Amino acid sequence: MDEHMSGTDNGGGRQAVFDMDALTLSIEHAPGAVAEPGGLIARVTLAGVCGSDVHRIVGHVKDAVGRVSFGHEAVGVIEELGEGLTVDWGGVPVSVGDRIIWYAGSTPCGECRGCRTTGEACDDRQWPLPSSIPNAAGYRDTATLSRRVPFFRVDGPVTDEELAAFGCALPTAISGQRRLGLIEAGQTVVVQGAGPVGIAAAMVASISPARNIIVIGAPAHRLELARKFGATVTIDLEATSAEERLARIHELTDGRGADVVIEAAGVPEAFPEGVSLLARHGRYLLSGLYSGTREVSFDPVPITLKSARIIGNLGSRPEVGLQALRFVQANRERFPFAEIVTHRYPLERVGDALAAMQDGSAMKVVVEPAREAAAV
Ligand SMILES: [Zn+2]
Ligand SMILES: [Zn+2]
């Protein structure tokens, strides 16, 4: 094994570099680093591919320029602790060798207006970061977490894949339902979309006294997964018309419609349909309409007539990362998390990993730099 491939070359190992101007991707040597006070260095064991990574590399999300690092869902092992760092963001003691999960895209400074008011929208978010400086991105051998990157120690038998299965879709679902408020006994929840965000939303909603958890999506294998993760009814998007879906939901709700609709489809056409599915006083949470330039026309009058609430959902407080970890640990017997991970790639095939996510053939894709390096 040559030193470069071992992942310990100068402490930096390899990293995926995305050129946001040329929209290209390459695997390069990463700069070596030492842990800053309050920060740490971790060996990445597994990094999840997020749908938003795909939106970025095709140029739909323009929040970065130049050469940057990606991968904001990562699991790894602490290799070095910076001065003064003794506990994780949940107050749990940490040592070298501990397994941790971190959210590199969330870097609250704790001092700006956003951090001090909402706690979830830092005005000085450090993401994505230039690849020329050590950073906490997941598509690399060795990650450098600044003191601002939330991380949590992982104990117990939970596997890396179970932790990565939903990635940031699980914090998104948990935050979304916090914004939504209580799902009351007997209510009907409709989820539009059967990707990771939609299935995570159905799963979290299923831990409520709801009457129905209805997932609309495609293809069939995703709907089958949705049923394993709490959906009581699934409706095949490709085999039904909007009128048929509305009729089915009225049939399941005594003609009332859905008390809660959660959009996790990511296509603008979902919006007018979602409004049509709402019951009076219904709540509509938008979680997947994240990027893109297409528009859709809709009639706003039903929003008024139904006294409906439309709620946007982006970002979450750092503690939601801990809630997501605890959710997986507490429910790993109840839900088959590992089944969500359908594709695994070594680091040098990050491009293929993103492509598998983009073409819809995969449910969840993970990159495993450590396993690959050990096999060389
Ligand atoms: Zn994400
Ligand atoms: Zn801040």
Tokens coding 195: 């990707």
Average pLDDT, integer, range 68-92: 96
**Distance (Å, whole) CA 249 – CA 212:** 10
Residues 6+ apart with CB under 8 A from 359: none
CA angle 63, 64, 67 (to 5 degrees): 165
* CA 165 – ligand 1 centroid, Å: 12
Query: Sign of dihedral through CA atoms 367, 173, 332, 258?
Result: negative
Neighbours of ion ligand 1 (CB under 5 A): 50, 52, 168
> What type of residue is 348?
E
Share of the chain above pLDDT 90, in %: 78
58 vs 288, residue with greater confidence? 288
Average pLDDT, integer, range 235-257: 98
* CA 319 – ligand 2 centroid, Å: 15
User: Which band of pLDDT confidence, cut at 50, 70 and 90, is reported for residue 54?
Assistant: confident
* CA 307 – ligand 1 centroid, Å: 32
Give me the CATH code for the 3-157+332-375 domain, please: 3.90.180.10
Q: What is the pLDDT, as a whole number, of residue 372? A: 54
User: Which band of pLDDT confidence, cut at 50, 70 and 90, is reported for residue 51?
Assistant: confident
Fold of the domain spanning 170-312 = Rossmann fold (3.40.50)
* CA 123 – ligand 1 centroid, Å: 19
Helix axes 196-206, 220-228, angle to 10 degrees: 30
For the ranges 157-166, 242-251, 351-360, which has the lowest average pLDDT? 351-360
**Distance (Å, whole) CA 7 – CA 41:** 13
Question: Is the CB of residue 94 less than 8 Å from the CB of residue 88?
Answer: yes
**Distance (Å, whole) CA 88 – CA 109:** 16
- Look at residue 332 and give its three-state secondary structure: coil
* CA 58 – ligand 2 centroid, Å: 28
289 vs 321, residue with greater confidence? 321
Query: Sign of dihedral through CA atoms 223, 225, 226, 232?
Result: positive
- Look at residue 244 and give its three-state secondary structure: helix
* CA 4 – ligand 2 centroid, Å: 37
* CA 116 – ligand 2 centroid, Å: 7
User: Which band of pLDDT confidence, cut at 50, 70 and 90, is reported for residue 108?
Assistant: very high
* CA 168 – ligand 1 centroid, Å: 5
Average pLDDT, integer, range 242-247: 98
* CA 63 – ligand 2 centroid, Å: 17
Q: Is the pLDDT of residue 2 over 50?
A: no
* CA 103 – ligand 1 centroid, Å: 9
User: Which band of pLDDT confidence, cut at 50, 70 and 90, is reported for residue 261?
Assistant: very high
* CA 127 – ligand 2 centroid, Å: 12
**Distance (Å, whole) CA 82 – CA 76:** 16
- Domain ranges across the chain: 3-157+332-375, 170-312
Task: List the alpha helices (DSSP H) in 128-269.
Answer: 160-164, 169-180, 196-206, 220-228, 242-252
* CA 301 – ligand 1 centroid, Å: 34
pLDDT tens digits, residue range 303-334? 999 999 999 998 788 899 999 999 999 999 99
Q: What is the pLDDT, as a whole number, of residue 8? A: 41
Q: Is the pTM of this model over 0.85?
A: yes
Q: What is the pLDDT, as a whole number, of residue 374? A: 46
Q: Is the pLDDT of residue 3 over 70?
A: no
CA 71 to chain centre: 11
User: Which band of pLDDT confidence, cut at 50, 70 and 90, is reported for residue 4?
Assistant: very low
Query: Bridge-partner residues for 151, per DSSP?
Result: 102
Q: Is the pLDDT of residue 60 over 80?
A: no
Question: In terms of Cα–Cα distance, which of 307, 260, 265 is closest to 285?
Answer: 260
* CA 185 – ligand 1 centroid, Å: 31
